[in-house]
Amino acid sequence: MPSLSKMPSAARQLVSNMLSFLSSPSPQNNVSEKGASFSTPQANRKNKKAFEGNIEKWEPNVYEKELLRRTWSDEFDNLYELGSAIYCYIFDHNPNCKQLFPFISKYQGDEWKESKEFRSQALKFVQTLAQVVKNIYHMERTESFLYTVGQKHVKFADRGFKHEYWDIFQDAMEFALEHRLSIMTDLDDNQKKDAVTVWRTLALYTTVHMRNGFIDGLKGVNRFPPLV
């Protein structure tokens, strides 16, 4: 596992930026099981129709927001392990996605997992999640951010990126986050179950907006044009 001190300067700066904005102040509330309730039902790729008409405007309640904050970690090793787990899941379940990352072909077998290119890519995806967590008290900021991320993926269409690939990204996030929650020692079983529920919803919310941005980008449409 690479340490922060051994990372290239650009990667160190990326991580430092992430840690900086994740440490910014936000409302603090205690997460309690008693009386806790959800503003949205459990979500996953197979039941996303349950959110038709409202997932794009999802607003987690206080309990859900504090579960997200409490179960998110800005420690470098945790960030890297999460990003790595997400991409390993994607490549294991849809090997065609490897063609989106030409650097992989430079390495023998699984040596790409230890490459600087893979470390950088893993951190980029986690940075997107980190930005969403940072703004859970300002959800109006996340829609345009995620939409723009999706728009940027249009440049990968020539490599074979398809809109249905967002499904495997959602599955990968659910899998990696659920595994991480399962080994947390400061949550009881009920809290872990609740945390899985809200993270699945966030994974769906994230991919829905990125997918929208990607599909619109292919059409030359941008709902959130840059300010001039």
Task: Give me the domains of the chain, ranges plus CATH numbers.
Answer: 44-218 (1.10.490.10)
Quote the distance between the C-alpha of residue 76 and its chain's center: 15
Kindly report the average pLDDT of the chain as a whole number.
81
> What is the model's pLDDT at position 57?
84
Confidence of residue 30 (pLDDT cuts 50, 70, 90): very low
- The sign of the dihedral angle between the CA atoms of 92, 96, 100, 106 is positive
Condensed to tens digits (0 to 9), the pLDDT of residues 164-219 reads: 899 999 999 999 999 999 888 888 888 898 899 899 889 989 999 999 999 999 99
Condensed to tens digits (0 to 9), the pLDDT of residues 115-164 reads: 999 999 999 989 999 999 999 988 888 999 999 999 999 999 999 999 88
Count Cβ atoms within 10 A of the Cβ of residue 10 and give its class: 0-12 exposed, 13-18 middle, 19 or more buried. exposed
Confidence of residue 29 (pLDDT cuts 50, 70, 90): very low
Mean per-residue pLDDT, 32-42 = 51
* Residue 41 clears pLDDT 70, i.e. is over it: no
Compute the C-alpha angle 142/143/149, nearest 5°. 85
| Residue 55 CB contacts under 8 Å (≥ 6 apart), including other chains | 40, 43, 48, 201, 204, 205, 208
Enter the tokens of residue 79: 């960030």
* Residue 222 clears pLDDT 50, i.e. is over it: yes
> What is the model's pLDDT at position 55?
80
> What is the model's pLDDT at position 46?
56
Percent of the chain with pLDDT over 70: 75
Confidence of residue 226 (pLDDT cuts 50, 70, 90): confident
* Residue 79 clears pLDDT 70, i.e. is over it: yes
